[in-house]
Structure 1
């Protein structure tokens, strides 16, 4: 009997002659967690889609051994029946079905008459959620009632229901709160202790360091190395991932902060579904030319709602005034904001940032399509030239410019969304979680771009849940909590403890 539950040997997969992965090896023992690391576009998700038969046998070359026998799966159902379950970075929920229906989708328990036994299904779903320490979830409610973090844990429940022997988690904590992340990591440790194997894909290397027994790194579709985590640290993993040592993840550059260019006064927003609840409560602030203003706060603080109001895309009731270059402006819709010089990179790129089946390049130029239109016709050559320029500028990895953007990695999709919002040459750029779900190398490039924009005089409002990121690149930090502005700090000697204290409503003694 093999020592390994899973062995992948010399796996190669290409798309239209372009190799996405080339000769990759991966081995996983029972009860082991393997951290799979690499930059966006390195081939991690492609490798896992080969393993889970999203790309069926025959569409790739190499060999997969499962429990010592060759696996030639033709679809996901076959790999799940074998005990291989993947939880994708993008959630696979059916929003209007209940939590229980999502967990049991395709394997619903039935009574003697052949009908779905909802009582039994709900009872079993409750047991699964209790195991995940999520007893507060009502399994009979539609899953859209719950946050992305809780939906991620519902995905874990689905995997448990399928009796997974190998659980593949692709960026599982990108939408989780700190407490939800803690719950998930503790669960993985419990799974390991019970003999379940895991492949853990994450750009959060502190998480990889905590739970992985072994780390495999791939770069540009090739296998760079596999080592025990005990022989590594996060800096060594980064060096393997990007091919160079990165001593400073936040490339601060000197830039001049000028006069006030943007001002929000007494901004309030009400919950879309509950007119009695304020999600943004009387927030006012100024933003200066060339300034990088970070916005920190815990989940539910109202940061994204504030950004949506400023960009004209908040669907609920709202009030307050916005001033640009000293003049009051009316922003009723995103097109108004873009026309005035206010652009925004949204938090959820899948829902609000891209048109999935449209080409990468057309996603980039759609914000300035009028530039390439004459007499009712699009000037294709000029548009394609701009597309090529932006792909090179943002280092977007794509086999060709008009490939559907949905086929790109999350990080490369994000680069394209940023490029789209830079083309209108904004005076104010709002970035809502700009580095969520992207690798350390891509983060570094986005940070460099933010400083480049600041040096050009663009005012940047950056919302981030990653405290080191906020403190690493901001000139000043706004702290929000429960919809209110609880702190406004110059970023000189500012600590995570001080920001967190403000976020949870402890007395603020230093303000600017």
Structure 2
């Protein structure tokens, strides 16, 4: 191994049940270098990092890993952490009810005379957070008191406490606000200047372009190429990822828009934690058959609360009426909504979208089990035929339709959740952040599905924090700001500037 490399992974291969997830992958990282690791969902990025960090220990994969010039044969995460390799997974590894300091020192607690030294741990945690320019986190408070962005910083503080020389970040910004993303990217630049190396996994290629020195692309478990970022742009990275040039990410298709199918009147929701605060304030909306209605707004504006109410899933006090085909309907639970023809793909698929320990296929058919029932028994052959058709239609990558859905990549989990909500054949489909944590190729397939549904007359109501996505596929855009309707725009040469101006309360317009 060349002395210029901190890390070199050679010919890494890994199989699951005879199916190769990694096939001869190479990865090299120098001290102070940020390597962007890119690929579609299911390409093998997270698997490769689990090999490196010994989540999959030495002996369960083929190839060689060299660390600081010596072969690394780690059999536990503790060994790789001791060497200086720290990984922050896409799903943060926090114990929510433990304090910030307890999470930072988990497994490496400071003790004195046989007792945990909380004063020392709190003081050290404060020092570590100060290094990250974070001064508004109390180390003694439970982690659950803090946002996803703050928890991300706590994870980084944990890595610093272990004297990490290589920081691996797996989709670190998928649930962060724009200001939190900015803080994180600036920190990575600071770490690079101090000599720390980084592997950055993200579908947000503009972030990769900003901080990566080199980019390694893998596709279907194979190494496609490694190039300096200076020789690439986001379009060329996409081409390497998907194996074809994608000139238009938003495959707009003509579709007829009919009469109003759903109308919500005067929807008001009160905050779960503060019953005196309105998170949605007297919002009314209409959506027509075959229409794609985008809902935009800043994080915390009330978008998710609004659509959760339409689906009967808002957990606390709310009021207003919902009308289908001009008639008022009572929707108190998601079951009521599905029966009425309203289905929803939730924002947090891990919490609300999947049953993690059951199979991919059963996650898809759970919404329509009665379709396969015969005399109180499930016709398994008929159900399996439906599952296989859905896997083919949505291009879900899984070695077996009965593998636990938690073993799939985030993008493939999302496709399964989409399938679950499409199988009941809804008249109105609500999509809350449908492409969060999803690669560009899978996004394209999801957009094609949305347009295909609109062509059949399904009304699609889509919440997204990505303005290019909202503008790329919506017929009309509602803008929500501080719980209020700030704009209702026909999407005809609509700009991001117009949407943002409405979201923050300037030049609000209702068409």
TM-score range, shorter chain: over 0.9
Which residue is equivalent to 2:57? 56
Q: Report the equivalent of 2:160.
A: 160
Correspondence for 1:114: 114
Q: Say which is worse superposed, 484-493 or 5-14, in terms of deviation.
A: 484-493
Secondary structure of the structure 1 residue equivalent to 2:254: coil
What residue number does 2:82 align with? 81
Distance 2:79 2:490 in 1: 56
Name the CA distance, whole Å, in 2 between partners of 1:271 and 1:71: 51
1:373 aligns with 2:391: no
The answer to whether residue 398 in structure 2 is matched with residue 398 in structure 1 is yes
What is the CA–CA distance in structure 2 between the aligned matches of 1:33 and 1:423, rounded to whole Å?
A: 43
Q: TM-score, normalised by structure 2?
A: 0.99
2:291 — aligned with what?
A: 291
Structure 1 residue 131, shift from structure 2 partner: 2.5
Counterpart secondary structure, 2:403: coil
**C-alpha displacement at 1:119, in angstroms?**
1.8
How far apart are residue 149 of structure 1 and its match?
A: 2.1
Provide, for residues 251-306 of structure 1, a one-character-per-residue CA deviation record: whole Å limited to 9, x for no partner.
10011111000011111111112111111111111011100000111111011111
The aligned residue for residue 126 of structure 1 is 126
Partner of 2:11: 10
* Cα distance in 2 between the residues matched to 1:131 and 1:316: 40
Q: Does 1:38 align with 2:10?
A: no
Within 5 Å, give how 1:60-459 maps onto structure 2.
Answer: 60-111=61-112, 113-459=113-459
| Cα distance between partner residues in 2 of 1:256 and 1:45 | 41
Question: Structure 1 residues 100-109 or 177-186, which shifts more?
Answer: 100-109
Greater mean alpha carbon deviation, residues 209-218 or residues 143-152: 143-152
Deviation of the 1:15 alpha carbon:
0.3
Please give the per-residue CA displacement for 1:39-73, whole angstroms capped at 9, x wherever unaligned: 00000000000000000000000000000111111
The corresponding residue for 2:510 is 511
Deviation at 1:132, TM superposition (A): 2.3
- Secondary structure of the residue aligned to 1:494 is coil
d(CA) in 2 for partners of 1:460 and 1:20? 35
Question: In structure 1, what is the Cα distance between the partners aligned to 2:146 and 2:312?
Answer: 25
SS, match of residue 262 in structure 2:
strand
Cα deviation code 1:452-496 (max 9, x no counterpart): 111110000100000100011011111111111111111112111
Partner of 1:25: 26
Distance in 1, matches of 2:315 and 2:446, equals 29
Query: Residue 486 of structure 2 contacts residue 510 of structure 2 at CA under 8 Å; is this kept in 1?
Result: no
Q: Is structure 2 residue 493 aligned with structure 1 residue 486?
A: no
1:348 positional shift: 0.7
Is 1:433–1:465's contact at 8 Å kept on the other side of the alignment?
Answer: yes
Q: C-alpha separation between the residues in 2 aligned to 1:103 and 1:324? A: 51
Give, in whole Å, the separation in 1 of the partners of 2:328 and 2:149. Answer: 38
Deviation at 1:199, TM superposition (A): 0.3
Give me the TM-score of the superposition, normalised by structure 1: 0.98
SS of equivalent to 1:27: strand
What is the deviation of 1:415? 0.4
Aligned pair count reads 510
Q: CA offsets per residue over residues 165-185 of structure 1, 9 Å max, x none?
A: 000000001011111101100
Q: What is the rounded CA distance, in whole Å, between the counterparts of 1:134 and 1:342 in structure 2?
A: 43
User: Secondary structure of 2:381's match?
Assistant: helix
Equivalent-residue separation in structure 2 for 1:195 and 1:266 (angstroms): 55
CA positional deviation for 1:114: 2.2
Measured in 2, the distance between the counterparts of 1:505 and 1:160 equals 40
Quote the residue 2:500 is aligned against.
Answer: 500
**What is the rounded CA distance, in whole Å, between the counterparts of 1:330 and 1:146 in structure 2?**
36
Equivalent position SS for 1:200: strand
1:187 positional shift: 0.4
Classify the secondary structure of the residue corresponding to 2:40: coil
Alpha carbon RMSD of aligned pairs, Å? 0.9
In 1, distance between residues paired with 2:483 and 2:104? 33
Aligned equivalents of 2:282, 2:467: Cα separation in 1: 24
Instruction: Report if aligned partners of 1:490, 1:511 keep a CA contact under 8 Å in 2.
Output: no
CA distance in 1 between partners of 2:166 and 2:121 (Å): 24
Separation of aligned partners in 1, 2:420 and 2:45: 26
Alignment check: 8 A CA contact 1:12 1:62 kept: yes
Give structure 1 stretches of 5+ with no counterpart: none
Give me the whole-angstrom Cα distance separating, in 2, the residues matched to 1:46 and 1:180: 27
**TM-aligned CA deviation for residue 314 of structure 1:** 1.0
Separation of aligned partners in 1, 2:363 and 2:417: 8
Partner SS, residue 256 of structure 2: coil
Structure 2 runs not aligned, ≥5 long = none
Residue pair 2:238, 2:246 contacting (<8 A) in 1 also:
yes
Superposition deviation, residue 139 in structure 1? 2.2
CA distance in 1, matches of 2:268, 2:510: 22
Q: Bigger CA drift: 264-273 or 224-233?
A: 264-273
Q: 1:133 offset after TM fit, Å? A: 2.8
Report runs of 4+ in structure 1 exceeding 6 Å deviation: none
Query: Per-residue displacement from partner, 1:406-459 (whole Å, max 9, x unpaired)?
Result: 110000000000000000000000000000001000000000110111111000
SS at 2:54's partner residue?
A: coil
Q: Distance in 2 between matches of 1:309 and 1:149?
A: 26
The Cα of 1:377 is off from its aligned counterpart by 0.7
Corresponding residue number in structure 2 for 1:461: 461
Cα contact 1:481–1:505 (8 A) shared by 2: yes
1:338-370 deviations in Å (ceiling 9; x for gaps): 111100001111111111110000000000011
